Each structure stands twice: as structure tokens, then as C-alpha cells.
Structure 1
Amino acid sequence: MKKRLSILFSMLLVMSLFLAACGFGGSDSGSGKEGGSGDGSKEQALRVNIKTEPFSLNPGLANDSVSGNVLRQTFEGLTRLDKDGKPTEAMAEKINVSEDKLTYTFKIREDAKWTNGDPVTAQDFEYAWKWVLDAKNESQYAEMLYYVKGGEAAHKGQGNIDDVGIKVVDDKTLEVTLDHVTPYFLELTAFYTYFPVNKKVAEANDKWYTDAGENYVSNGPFKMSEWKHSDEIVLEANDTYWDKDAVKLDKINMYMINEPSTELSMFEKDELDWAGNPIGQLPTDAIPQLKDKGNLNIEVKTGTYMYKFNTQEEALSNAKIRKALTYAIDRKAIVENVTKAEQVPALAMVPPQAYGDEKNELFKDADVKEAKKLLDEGLKELGMSELPAVKISYNTDEGHQKIAQAIQDMWTKNLGIKAELNNQEWNVYIDELQKGNYEVGRMGWIGDFNDPITFLEMFKDKDGGNNDTFWENAEYKKLIDASRGETDVEKRLDILKQAEQILMDEMPAAPIYYYTDAWIQSDSLKDVTVLSTGDVQFKWAHFE
């Protein structure tokens, strides 16, 4: 996934990584073995692997799928995506929308409480949203609040934070005025950047979110009782949650094991109740066997696995060089021989389903002839006789490594280019990427909601929180801005397609494949909600 990184980050597994947020298409299928506890009883305790330490468990700083999948259990926004991926009332018990669809009035539940017993108030939402828009807090997902009137100007220092369209009418009423009509705004309010933060707690301790304990106050179906950094997070059912009767699990153990084979082994030993996406990862070599056994779940995901180019690097500042590297990749070979979980070769940035499941192909796969031509032209424009060795960076992961090795071989074989591989642990990797300390870097972007704009908007500004390519194009910016004000659905999609064509003509990032989620789970585990945007919700999960 961000960054808000979708952020991605939103974004980090072989079969489905990163970043996001809202979407559709739930699933609760089972496979494989009985579970729930090591002794075979139906204790309501879930054991999962989240792979790595979350980037941040502050909703305003989180920009990746690991953080997001924890926050969705411990926090709740004004809305929540239901089992079908549709926004429904959550912290807000009533929502009124003005006739011009620009003003939303949210009535917050009287029984909405924080884990410390404090009431959830409109001031908590106002505080959290304005905190994100305050540039000094360096939220990578601040753009998510640009939909609010005055949000972008405030974040960029061109307006006053007090003039943003967020108004506290009273303790339980929040009025939000939008910059432009946004049909998916109620999906956005279910995304973690829009979650509230306990104002009183945060103002008393600006590091409230760094450890479990009395300072870590949340408002979702679960509360964090333990956080052993880089090892395990333990969640318990939240007895102050307004809808606590719907929550069946008593406990969730979230382990941090960054080795897919270990994750699968633990599942087979009945030490985990879930193995694989979108929270963990299965070893790619095990995918075919699991498919043959018939106990592998695979679902299409609205997300794109990509290689970002740092356009500040001399060689990669040339669009023809970037396109040459992109065209020389054989995506069909990667999804068939490396990832193996029915991923689809990506020949555009936006997954087809975001446009309504129509075909979306803007270049040819493995177009080696054109790649060679573009490489020669690009080198001439740069005054170079050959391309220096290219460094491919990725976060430590078996799948990312195999993909990098495959692309390394393709670039050498098809273009005669040397490529070096550089792997780093996730938190280090994402920090280096955001600082521009890379040449080519792998990333995944999972749609924050099911719309093309979530894949295109992050490339609008070179200093945007999730635009680690540092690319910018004036015409592209105009089209993205124009799409915001267009209320005709077909005209809006046409504008976005024009923008995507510019993106693929300039190629600041190379799409590799469209994600799927692949996992196995205990037969007795029911009603885990997996959405096409990679969201996982355990609110309704239980063991039978």
C-alpha cells in the first residue's frame, strides 16, 4: 500500500502486499484443518502472522498494509465497510448529506467510547483530521484529506488550518464540507487516516501510540493488551465497544514472522489459524501443491505490484530509459513461474476492475524489440554510451527477492544491462524509499477504495507523500484536478484514462502484475472478512 505507500501502503507481499483501505468483495471461505486453539477446543482465540513490525499504529502516520490491518481491528471510523464492502454506519449512528452533496453531517453514537471509558466526540475526529493536515506531523497520507474543503491549502501552507471544512457542531455532531462532490466519501471515512484519536490522551502524550498500555487508547472492536516489538501484538475484545455483542473472538495473537516457510509450518502444526495473504504470506513454491489439494483460497485484489523509478537519478530521469526497462519485463513468465497465485500481468497502472472490469492495456508485455529501440534513443538523449548498473531495491522477503532476480535476468538478457540487488528490512526500506535513497524500488499499491483515482492521484505532485518517484507532469496534474470536479461518471472516467495514458507514456513506475490474495485457514474459522482492497476485518470472526 499510502502512504500512504497504500499506503503500500496502502503494499508488501508476493501475492498481495500493501497499503490501503476501502473496497468490496468479502469472503469467509475455509480450508485445511481444525483450529482455534492448540488443544482442539473452540476457544475464541485467533492466531495470525502479520510478518513484520507495523510502520506506525497511529492512524495519522500509518501508510502500509501491516499497520492498516492492525488498526482496522483496534479503531473505527465514522463508517465501516460491511461484509460486502459497502460503507455502513459505525461511530456515526446517523449521516445526513446536503442536497448539493458537499456537506455531510455525522451524528456520533452516544454509547461510542474509548477503551479508557472516555466518550468518543466530534472533537476527537476534528483533532485527528487536522493533525494529519498539519505538515509538521509528516503524515504520508495527508492527501486523503484533500477531499475536505481547504484541506490541501492548509497542508501546503497556503491556507489556515482553522478554515478547513471540519466543524464541531456539538460534542456528538461533526459537520464536514467537501472541496468537491465525492461519491465515495463514505468509503473514505472508513479508511484509517480518517479514524479518530483521543484528543485528551494525545495532547497529554505525543508518543501515545508507540507502546501498549494505558496511553494506547482506541475505539474499535479490539484493544491492544500487549506489544512486543518485532515479535508479537496481542489484541483482546474491547468491552467498551458500542457493538461488542457482534464480536465473538476473545483474543487475537499477531505474530511477526518474516519467513513464509515458517508461517506455513506453523499452520500445519496448528500454531496458526491463518496462513497467507492479505496479512501473512505463503511460500511461492508451496502454492501449486496447495492448489492441487483444493484448500487454497484465491481472490482477485484491486492492487498493482510495481517497480518505482527514482526520476532524480540521471539515467532514470529519461522517460525512454524508464519505458525500455518496463517493456523488457516478461510479466507472463513472472506470474506463471514465480508468484504462481493467478496474478494477472499488469499492462497499465490501474487494475481493470477499478474501471468496471473492462480491459485496460496500454503497452505490450515483453516488448523487447521496442525496449531496445527506446534504450538506444534514451542513451543518445542523455549523451551516454551505455546504461550504468541499475540497483533494484526491495524489502526483505522471499517473493520480492525471486521477482527481483527474474527481472535482473530479463534486463541482462534482453537489454544487456547489469542490475544489482539490494534488500532491506521493511521499516528501513520504506524510509529510504521516501527519502529518495534508491534507484529502482519495488512497491505494491492496494486501492484505498475501488476507483481509478486511488492509483493515479499519488503521482500528481512530486512532493506528495506517496510519490517516491519524484515525477511530476503539468498536464497530468490538470487532468487529475479536472476529474475531481466532474460529476458525469463517463466523462470523469475518460479524464482519468487520459491521465493514465500520460502516466504510462512517462512511466515513472513500471506495473508488474495485479494482485490476488492467496491463503489457507482453519476449517472451524468463520466470517473473516477479506475485501478486494486487502482489508481484513476480524470483527465478525469466530470459531465453530
Structure 2
Amino acid sequence: MKKNKYLVMLMLLLLSVVLVACNFGGEEDSSTDTGTDGSTDESASKELNLVVASEPPSLHPQLASDTTSSTIMNNLFEGLMSLENGEPVPGVAESYEVSDDQLTYTFKLRDSKWSNGDPVTANDFVYAWEFGLNPTNASEYASILYVIKGAQAYNLGETTSFDEVGVKALDEKTLEVTLEAPTPYFLELTAFKTLYPIHAATADANENWFTEADGYVGNGAFVMTQWQHAGSITLEKNPEYWDADNVKLSKVNIEMVESETTQMTKFESGEIDYVGTSYGSISLDAIERLESEGKLNIADYSGIYWYKFNTTDEVMQNVNIRKALTLAIDRASLIENITKAGQVPALGMVPDGVEGFGDDEGYFKDADYEGAKAALEQGLKELGLSDASELELKLSFNTSEAHAAIAQFIQEGWNKNLGISVTLDNSEWQVYLDKLSNLDYQIGRLGWIADYNDAYSFLEMYNSAENGNNDTGWSNEEYTKLLQQSTTETDPAARIDLLKQAEAIIIEEFPVAPIYYYTNPYVVRDGVTGMEPDALGNINLKNVDVTE
């Protein structure tokens, strides 16, 4: 692209004999570029350079279940609502009304368009949500739609007609949604990827429409113009976006760089403009230095880092073995010596910042070696083993310097304090996700960032062994019952009490080992504004500007 610009400028110089000074890659001049329709575009020369750690596994809104894919799609699509500073604001929906009983939402759509110029209609939302709930599509996030009347029954095959689900296009610009029960976070949900619309004609014409840049149709502030698999993705400003006048960037170049050290090298050499959650990760060995230099920013983050246990495994099905491993992690030392970014030891399933939680000291003690040894002794006896050395465990994680460092720290602790030998196993992101989904692991790391800032977002995935995000094989009838009761409880305090009861049950059975509650450390280049992540880690590139 830069070579073409130079050729054009050279031709203009020869034809008009006018001296024009242009600076490519340095400071921008104050002029504006003229578009093909004669309009001026102040964002025409503003590019942002970012990284993600891996190839996005899926850029289909209803099939994606990972943060890398979400990060990309958040800029290619827009839901009924968008999130600004963590709060829902009108997106495709220009306005909405809520019935007195808080069960029916009626959304009025603005005159917005798809990136191919077609109008966005209420039917595009119906089409997408039906796809997400259709059991044949096996969407791992189908359950997030269960707040809608009849959605769960349709997804489980108990009903076969989508007409029985509370989603109706009253006309092209009016969408009516009826809920099972009042849901205080429903507007936040409508900004989540699983509730994005799909351009029905594109999807009907090509079931693989979401696998390449060519033919990819979205309705967000940007359009994907290039996708070099395992290499890079290029986004450009979407001229059809309803609020395009307020989008300042012309292009976003996103390189796929797995190594955190390489990401930091690129940032410090000026090749990329930001490193932090959503777009890369600061290497652990750089955090203290960046903090001392006054360059490190740390934002609140509603998320948790945990180890999942495959409870269908011959060893990990034993609750006492799981308990021993969980209690024998020294979270405080891990944070002080390895992660170093102000994380908080996780002694429960729900971060302290979530409403109604964080007013206790947790469900167990950090680094409780005596409790761990007692649980281990009981677990070995139940497995018919006489000594911890007879256990051979494998700890799996996706390729990452940070995940490897954390795993090595915990591996050493388990060996030193429990006498358990643990082998480390790393895989690239998509392969690793497949391992978790297929229960082809013993112990596996994963982070979970709230889809909406409510305790239910951290607990709901374990409501059944079949939940696409469970990945442990664990289920508990009482736990499931409490979660179901929480969805219909209208008293906020009573609802939180039900969720706390559920949290206590899952902690008692240890299908996961909570490790720490996230913070969001990041660095951003001077002259780049609007890159501050919200509490869910979202960065809306629509609001980003490059001033130098």
C-alpha cells in the first residue's frame, strides 16, 4: 500500500509541478484525504498496529468461544447494544422499551447497514439466535441464550419449532424478546458475540462464510479486508457503518505473535502500539521494569485464572486428589514472584469485585499444606495407592511463556510439598481447546473473563456436564438446581444467596482449582488514545485515535 501511495504522489508531482511534503510512518500533517465520493476523511491515514497471540479459532459469532476470536469480532459486528466503559449503550438498537413485568424487551433498530450495503433487519437477529440455539450446530455458548423464553427447551431438543422461542421480528426494524424471568444483565448480553446478528443471505449462500476475509460480511465499525491464516488480519474502517463519521482509524493491522517476549520487543521498537489483555500479554520479566519506568497501567478485570480437572480421568475423578492439588498451591507467592501485576489469590469461584461477593475470606486457606497432605493421604487410600510417587500427572496449557512459568511454579510446589511428579504439556491454542473440549487431559489451565459482570457468568458453565464451556465432566444436581432457582429469583439479595450456595458446592467438590483473580496490565504508545480496557477486557477500537 505504501508503494502505491508513493507512485500516486510522484505522478501528482510530475503533472502539477507542485511540491508536496508527505511523511509516511512519522508525524501526520494537518491535511485530510478525499474519498472516492468527494468527501473528506480525517481517519484516512490513521493506522493502529496490534498483536494477538494466535490464529482466532472461529470468527463465527455463534460458534466462537475464546477471547482471541471475540477480540476480533467485537470490531466486525455490533449487537443490539454496545458496551461503553462496561455499560450498555444503544448499538444497532436505536431505542428499546421494557414491559412493566421486566419480561418483554422491544427493540427499535436504527437504519444501519451490513458491510455489503444491505440493511440490518430484525430478522438478521432472529436468524443468528436460532442458529446459536439449534442443537445441530453445537454452539458452546448456546446456554447464554437460555434467559430467553423457550430457548433452553429448543436447544435441548424438547421442542422443535423456533416459533416457541421468545424472539420475534415484528417488522424489519422491530425485534421483540420475551424472557423466562426478569434478567438484570440482559441488556449487557445483547452486546455479547453470541447475540450478534448474521447476514442471512451470506450464510445461506456459503456455510463457510466466516473462514476467509473474502465474502466476510459484518455490521461493525470495521470490515476485515485480509486474513493471512496464522499470520495476520487487517481491518479497515467500514464506510457502511451507521456511526462511521466518529470512527477515527482507517486501518488496524493485527499480527499473530505467540511469544510475549517478542510482543514486548515489537512494542518497544515501535512496531506495535499496545500490549495487554485482548491484544497480547506483557512478558512477566518486563512487568517490574515497566512499573519502575512509570509505563505500566493496571486496570480492573473481572476474570479468574484457574486449573480445570478432568473428573472423568481415573485419577482426577477422586475429589480428595483434586482437593489436595488445590490446597497445595501457594497463590500469594505465585503472584509476588511470577505474575507480579497485583493479582489477588482466588479462594473462590467469583472475583471480589462482582456485586455481592468478596465480603469473606474465601472457602479455603491459601497454601494449606497440612490440609492438602490429609486430603492426599485419603485420596491415595481410595485409589488403592500407597505413596504419592505412584501418581503420574500431566498438567496441560496452551503455548505461552507466562502459562509455562506459572505451571513450572505450581509443578515444583506439588512435587516439593506433596511428593507428586507432574509432567508439563503445552499445545498451540486451537489444539489445546480441542483437548479440553474432548476431555483429553488431566489438569488444564484456562482463564475465564465474565461475559457480563455478574456471578452467574462464572458459575453457569458448570450447570451440567454437557455445557459447552464446562470441560471437566463434573456435574451436581443440587448445584444445577440452585442455579436454575437463581434465574427466576426476583429479589436481588435472595438471588445472590442462591449463587453463593452454588459456589460453596462447587468449591467443596473441586472440579476446578481457582488460582488468582485477574488484573489487566497493559502498555500503550504515546499518542494513542481510547485503548483503556473496561472491566471485561473490552477495547472498542471505534473509540481509538492516533494523534501522532
TM exceeding 0.5: yes
> In 2, distance between residues paired with 1:176 and 1:45?
39
Q: CA deviation at 1:41?
A: 3.1
User: Quick check: 1:226 aligned with 2:226?
Assistant: yes
1:252 is aligned to: 252
Indicate conservation of the 8 Å contact 1:391/1:438, yes or no. yes
User: Quick check: 1:333 aligned with 2:336?
Assistant: no
1:55 and 1:37, CA in 2 relative to 1: closer, same or farther beyond 3 A? Answer: farther
1:414-493 to structure 2, matched below 5 A, reads: 414-493=417-496
> In 1, distance between residues paired with 2:320 and 2:497?
25
1:167-316 to structure 2, matched below 5 A, reads: 167-213=168-214, 215-316=215-316
2:28 is aligned to: 41
Residues 489-543 of structure 1: CA distance to partner in whole angstroms, max 9, x if unpaired? 1111111111000010001000000111111111100122411111121111101
Q: CA deviation at 1:356?
A: 4.5
| Higher-RCO chain (CA-CA 8 Å, sequence separation at least 6) | 1
Indicate conservation of the 8 Å contact 1:45/1:252, yes or no. yes
Letter in 2 for 1:146: Y
Aligned-residue sequence identity (percent) comes to 48
1:71 and 1:112, CA in 2 relative to 1: closer, same or farther beyond 3 A? Answer: same
2:14 is aligned to: none
Letter in 2 for 1:378: G
1:502 is aligned to: 505
Letter in 1 for 2:509: E
Deviates more, 1:408-417 or 1:385-394: 385-394
Count of paired positions? 506
How well do the aligned residues superpose, as a CA RMSD in angstroms?
1.3
Indicate conservation of the 8 Å contact 1:97/1:103, yes or no. yes
2:118 is aligned to: 118
> In 1, distance between residues paired with 2:107 and 2:293?
48
1:416 and 1:86, CA in 2 relative to 1: closer, same or farther beyond 3 A? Answer: same
Residues 99-135 of structure 1: CA distance to partner in whole angstroms, max 9, x if unpaired? 11111111111x2100001110111100000001011
3-state SS of the aligned residue for 2:211? coil
3-state SS of the aligned residue for 1:317? coil
2:73 is aligned to: 71
Deviates more, 1:383-392 or 1:226-235: 383-392
Deviates more, 1:223-232 or 1:313-322: 313-322
Residues 307-362 of structure 1: CA distance to partner in whole angstroms, max 9, x if unpaired? 00000012111211111100000001111111111111111111011134633411
Q: Unaligned stretches of 5+ in structure 2?
A: 1-22, 30-44
> In 2, distance between residues paired with 1:437 and 1:376?
26
Q: CA deviation at 1:269?
A: 1.3
Indicate conservation of the 8 Å contact 1:527/1:542, yes or no. yes
Letter in 2 for 1:66: T
Letter in 2 for 1:306: W
Q: CA deviation at 1:262?
A: 1.1
1:147-166 to structure 2, matched below 5 A, reads: 147-160=147-160, 161-166=162-167
> In 1, distance between residues paired with 2:357 and 2:520?
18
> In 2, distance between residues paired with 1:133 and 1:516?
33
Deviates more, 1:478-487 or 1:40-49: 40-49
3-state SS of the aligned residue for 1:476? helix
Indicate conservation of the 8 Å contact 1:528/1:541, yes or no. yes
Residues 187-246 of structure 1: CA distance to partner in whole angstroms, max 9, x if unpaired? 000001100000111011100000001x20000000001000111100000000011111
3-state SS of the aligned residue for 1:342? coil
> In 1, distance between residues paired with 2:302 and 2:154?
31
* Runs of 4+ displaced beyond 4 Å: none
> In 2, distance between residues paired with 1:238 and 1:179?
36
3-state SS of the aligned residue for 1:323? helix
> In 2, distance between residues paired with 1:487 and 1:403?
41
Structure 1 length-normalised TM: 0.91
3-state SS of the aligned residue for 1:379? helix
3-state SS of the aligned residue for 1:290? helix
2:374 is aligned to: 373
> In 2, distance between residues paired with 1:257 and 1:77?
29
1:81 is aligned to: 83
2:515 is aligned to: 512
Indicate conservation of the 8 Å contact 2:75/2:541, yes or no. yes
3-state SS of the aligned residue for 2:373? helix
The equivalent position to 2:410 in structure 1, one of 407, 412, 425, is 407
3-state SS of the aligned residue for 1:531? coil
Indicate conservation of the 8 Å contact 1:328/1:367, yes or no. yes
Letter in 2 for 1:458: M
User: Quick check: 1:57 aligned with 2:59?
Assistant: yes
> In 2, distance between residues paired with 1:418 and 1:51?
30
1:90 is aligned to: 91
1:292 and 1:357, CA in 2 relative to 1: closer, same or farther beyond 3 A? Answer: farther
3-state SS of the aligned residue for 2:499? helix
Indicate conservation of the 8 Å contact 2:234/2:251, yes or no. yes
Indicate conservation of the 8 Å contact 2:303/2:518, yes or no. yes
> In 1, distance between residues paired with 2:494 and 2:123?
38
User: Quick check: 1:323 aligned with 2:323?
Assistant: yes
> In 1, distance between residues paired with 2:349 and 2:204?
40
Q: Unaligned stretches of 5+ in structure 1?
A: 1-35
2:34 is aligned to: none
Letter in 2 for 1:79: M
Indicate conservation of the 8 Å contact 1:38/1:271, yes or no. no
3-state SS of the aligned residue for 1:275? strand
3-state SS of the aligned residue for 1:71? helix
Letter in 1 for 2:104: T
Which protein has the larger Cα radius of gyration, Structure 1 or Structure 2? 2
1:14 is aligned to: none
3-state SS of the aligned residue for 2:153? helix
Deviates more, 1:352-361 or 1:45-54: 352-361
1:357-396 to structure 2, matched below 5 A, reads: 358-360=358-360, 361-387=362-388, 388-396=391-399
Q: CA deviation at 1:418?
A: 0.5
> In 1, distance between residues paired with 2:467 and 2:156?
10
